[in-house]
Each structure stands twice: as structure tokens, then as C-alpha cells.
């Protein structure tokens, strides 16, 4: 039955409908994989096997009656441990968060999944408060890459990506404030989507404000569309949530790419040094799009280095998240988080407003860019997974994680939908990701192009062997 752990959510639901297998069987298989993922890569903060099986049995009965609660009824799902979930603490990777309390509220995305019968396997790991692009924390230690356990899974949704890659549930909820869905999805060979800001409601608002998006990590684009259909839509607790989407994302996957205007930027105009093996894999996928009828132009958006403005917003958020902590609690923090929070605490309101001006200018330029081009294609990252347990690759010269993520964080500033698609493996057998970006509110377009690549056999990589 562990073969059920290899199936997509869409295939599981089809099997439930046809009576080929049951939610209980699928959840048992996913739990077996989750236990393996915890032993080998440390993907989970907590596994809830008993509760998962209770929900699976209830789902099995609904399917037996022909009355499923929704399109993900009985599907195993994991939740990143920064999103509230009833019945247990949300510790956010921090020893400063007390597990005591009622913990009786679901985040909006979790609530929508619960209403539609999804089965929660457990909580996945995160760096402390999701502050960096790799996943290790003082609370849970290091989360490792399922393709090579000496390497990082990326972050901050590293546990979610590793869990999906190892078959511990086909659907995962992550968050992305500067690449935190796309980075680990790229390193772990899964699909990851950062939707348009506000498409998936977020409550309580995170310290990093309107940079942070909730999004899916899945086996493929079709599963991400299925999940987005469930978790999108307004929630009264999020004042910045968008109105309902105009239609189903799953229904909009077809149509191909013929006639689409694709901008291909291999290095943001020479700003980024991309490993040759990464560049070659992305170029092959772009050539596939051209072969399928897309009009591809090699050109670059005007992303004049916005890192200082991003840091002002990000470090200010870090200062806010630790503001209420006393001296003893601050000693418990990840040293890197403590460092950027101290920088953020020295920033002024004028510094913050200046960063917002840079952000607005970047948004205007990308808006104009997408008047000419439907989709922008870049590498997701210029590198593949590096040593676990460090924030930046040794010898890289970078000081902060933003140094090696130049393709991801700008699109958090502009709030555009952006996805990563696995398009190959490097010489060490590590996954390579390609990023797809569209104008705000065109999540359907990102998903459609990604789905076309999967259908053409260009997206998706060999699953990791069970390390």
C-alpha cells in the first residue's frame, strides 16, 4: 500500500471515487512515509497519526455514501508550523513560543482544508519565524534534503518540500516571504507556487507583512491548482484578502502555450552568476515552450537590485517579531535572527517609507513589463542545494540568504504569482528549478504554463531514493 504514497492528490481522489482504494489506506501509506521522512531528513515538528486516521475513517465513510466534503476529501496534507491549526501549538521553530494555551483556531487555509475533508498528517519544520531561506532552528534542528542528506532542503518551507518529495502527503501548505515556497521546492524537486498576494487569506498577519504569501507545495501543477481552488477566496480575518477568483484554477489548466509571449531572462541581464548546469536545464525547458508554440524572447525585466529595500522591510519585520521578548528569551533565538532584528530595530520610519518607494517603483516596472510579455521565465535559483546547517554556501562571499536568491525575493515585493517547476538534475543528482512569473492576478497563467510543461514531459524529476 505504500505505493499509494506515490500518487498525486488528483489520482487519489479519482481512486476514492472509483472504489479502487480508501482514504484510510492512503493515509496509512503517507504516515509510513512521514515516519521515514522524520527519521532521515527531519521534516516534521509533530506527526498526528491517531488524529489523521480518525479523519481518514470519517472520509472513507463519506466516500462510501457518495457524499465527499470536497475535492480534497481524504487527501493527506501537511501544514507548515507557522500556520495556526486547532488542537496543538504553532511553535514557529522557536523556543520562545510557549506550547501552553487553547490553540483553538485554524488559519484560513487550514480551515478551508478542514471543511473539505482533508487529512492532516502533521506540522512541518521551519526556521525560526520563517526568517531565512534554509530550514534549521534552535527548536527542531536541521532539515535535510531528500536527495542528499548532507545538503539543505532550502527554506523556509523546507519541511513541507521534503515531505512532498518523500511521499509524506501529496499536498503541503507553505508560506513564502522571499522565496520560502519556491526555494525548497526547487532544491527538493517539487512544484511550488507563491500565489498573487491576497489570493490565499493569511491570519494572523505575519511580522513580514505584505511580503508573505501562503501557497502550495505539491507533486505537480495540477495538484497545486486543485489546492489553490480550495484555499483561495476571502476570509473576514484578513482585510487584504482578494475577492473570489473568477473561476476554477484546475479547470483553467488546459489550452497550452501556443501564442503566449514568453520573456526568458537567464541571468537578469548579467546581474546573476548562474551555474552552467542550471542555466542549461532552464534553457532546454524554454526551448520546449518555444517548440509548443510560445513566442520566446530573451530579454530582462528592470529589476535594479532591490535588496537593500527588501532588507529594510524584512529586517524591520524581524525586529517586530522579537520586540516583546526579554533579554533571556532573546538569548534563545537563532543568532542570525537576533542579528537582523538588531539591524531592523535601528531603522527609522523614513527608512521604511523609502523602502516602500523602491517597492512601488519595482511594481510599476514589472507591471509595464507584463503589458508586453505574458510570462517571465528565469532560473528559480542560480545554484542547487548546498551544505545543510548554514545560511549561505561556504566560500560564496554572501552574508545573508538573499545573496543566493536573487530571482525569488523581488517578486514578493511586487506581489506577483511565481512558481517553480523541476526541470532536471545536476551532476550530483540534485534538482534544478525553473521559475515562471506572471502579472498580478494571473495565477491561472502560471499554472497553465507549468501544467503544459508537465504534460510535455519536460517538468518533473526522478523521485529521491528512500535514503
Active site residues: 80, 156, 180
Helices and strands (H and E) in the chain: how many: 14, 15
Distances, alpha carbon 376 to alpha carbons 108, 438, 451, in Å: 30, 6, 16
* 439: its cell numbers: 502579472
Preceding amide of 270 cis, omega within 30: no
Task: Give the three-state DSSP class for 94.
Answer: coil
The answer to whether residues 274 and 310 touch, using CB atoms and an 8 Å cutoff, is no
Distances, alpha carbon 308 to alpha carbons 119, 314, 347, 357, in Å: 41, 10, 12, 12
As to burial, measured by CB atoms within 10 angstroms (0-12 exposed, 13-18 middle, 19+ buried), residue 433 is buried
The answer to whether residues 391 and 401 touch, using CB atoms and an 8 Å cutoff, is yes
How far apart are alpha carbons 417 and 405 in whole angstroms?
Answer: 17
Distances, alpha carbon 86 to alpha carbons 110, 111, 229, in Å: 9, 9, 22
Task: Give the three-state DSSP class for 183.
Answer: helix
* 222: its cell numbers: 495540477
What torsion do the CA atoms of 199, 366, 405, 219 make, to the nearest 10 degrees? 40
Helices assigned H by DSSP within 180-325: 182-188, 221-231, 276-291, 307-321
Secondary structure element (H or E) that encloses residue 437, with its range = strand 431-438
The answer to whether residues 174 and 217 touch, using CB atoms and an 8 Å cutoff, is yes
Task: Give the three-state DSSP class for 266.
Answer: coil
Task: Give the three-state DSSP class for 335.
Answer: helix
Distances, alpha carbon 373 to alpha carbons 253, 290, 306, 377, 450, in Å: 19, 14, 22, 10, 16
How far apart are alpha carbons 22 and 38 in whole angstroms?
Answer: 24
DSSP state of 244: P
Amino acid at each position: 500500500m505504500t505505493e499509494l504514497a506515490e500518487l498525486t492528490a488528483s489520482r487519489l481522489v479519482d481512486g476514492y471515487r472509483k472504489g479502487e482504494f480508501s482514504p484510510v489506506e492512503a493515509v496509512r501509506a503517507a504516515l509510513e512515509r512521514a515516519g521515514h521522512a522524520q527519521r532521515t531528513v527531519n521534516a516534521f515538528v509533530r506527526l498526528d497519526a491517531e488524529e489523521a486516521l480518525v479523519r481518514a475513517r470519517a472520509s472513507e465513510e463519506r466516500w462510501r455514501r457518495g457524499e465527499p466534503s470536497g475535492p480534497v476529501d481524504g487527501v493527506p496534507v501537511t501544514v507548515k508550523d507557522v500556520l495556526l491549526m486547532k488542537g496543538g501549538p504553532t511553535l514557529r521553530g522557536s523556543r520562545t513560543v510557549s506550547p501552553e494555551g487553547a490553540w483553538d483556531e485554524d488559519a484560513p487555509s487550514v480551515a478551508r482544508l478542514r471543511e473539505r475533508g482533508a487529512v492532516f498528517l502533521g506540522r512541518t519544520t521551519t526556521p525560526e519565524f520563517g526568517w531565512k531561506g534554509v530550514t534549521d532552528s534552535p527548536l527542531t534542528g536541521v532539515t535535510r534534503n531528500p536527495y542528499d542528506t548532507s545538503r539543505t532542503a532550502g527554506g523556509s518551507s523546507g519541511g513541507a518540500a521534503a515531505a512532498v518529495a518523500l511521499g509524506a502527503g501529496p499536498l503541503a501548505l507553505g508560506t513564502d516571504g522571499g522565496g520560502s515556497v519556491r526555494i525548497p521546492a526547487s532544491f527538493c524537486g517539487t512544484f511550488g507556487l507563491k500565489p498573487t498576494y491576497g489570493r490565499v487569506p493569511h491570519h494572523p498577519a505575519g511580522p513580514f507583512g505584505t511580503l508573505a504569501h501562503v501557497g502550495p507545495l505539491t507533486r505537480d501543477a495540477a495538484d497545486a491548482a486543485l489546492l489553490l481552488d480550495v484555499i483561495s477566496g476571502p476570509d473576514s480575518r484578513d482585510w487584504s484578502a482578494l475577492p473570489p477568483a473568477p473561476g476554477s484554477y484546475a479547470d483553467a489548466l488546459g489550452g497550452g502555450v501556443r501564442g503566449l509571449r514568453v520573456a526568458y531572462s537567464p541571468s537578469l541581464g548579467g546581474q546573476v552568476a548562474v551555474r552552467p548546469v542550471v542555466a542549461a536545464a532552464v534553457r532546454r525547458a524554454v526551448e520546449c515552450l518555444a517548440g509548443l508554440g510560445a513566442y520566446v524572447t530573451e530579454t530582462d525585466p528592470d529589476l535594479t537590485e532591490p535588496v537593500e529595500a527588501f532588507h529594510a522591510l524584512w529586517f524591520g519585520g524581524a525586529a517586530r517579531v522579537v520586540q516583546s521578548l526579554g533579554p533571556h528569551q532573546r538569548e534563545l533565538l537563532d543568532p542570525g535572527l537576533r542579528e537582523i532584528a538588531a539591524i531592523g530595530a535601528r531603522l527609522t520610519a523614513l527608512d521604511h517609507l523609502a523602502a516602500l518607494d523602491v517597492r512601488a517603483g519595482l511594481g510599476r516596472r514589472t507591471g509595464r513589463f507584463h503589458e508586453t510579455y505574458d510570462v517571465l521565465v528565469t532560473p528559480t535559483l542560480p545554484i542547487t542545494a548546498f551544505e545543510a546547517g548554514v545560511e549561505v554556501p561556504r566560500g560564496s562571499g554572501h552574508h545573508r540568504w538573499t545573496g543566493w536568491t536573487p530571482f525569488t525575493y523581488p517578486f514578493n515585493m511586487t506581489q506577483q504569482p511565481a512558481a517553480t517547476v523541476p526541470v532536471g538534475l545536476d551532476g550530483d543528482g540534485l534538482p534544478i528549478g525553473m521559475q515562471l512569473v506572471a502579472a498580478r492576478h494571473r495565477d491561472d497563467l502560471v499554472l497553465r504554463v507549468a501544467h503544459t510543461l508537465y504534460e510535455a514531459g519536460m517538468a518533473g524529476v526522478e523521485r529521491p531514493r528512500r535514503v
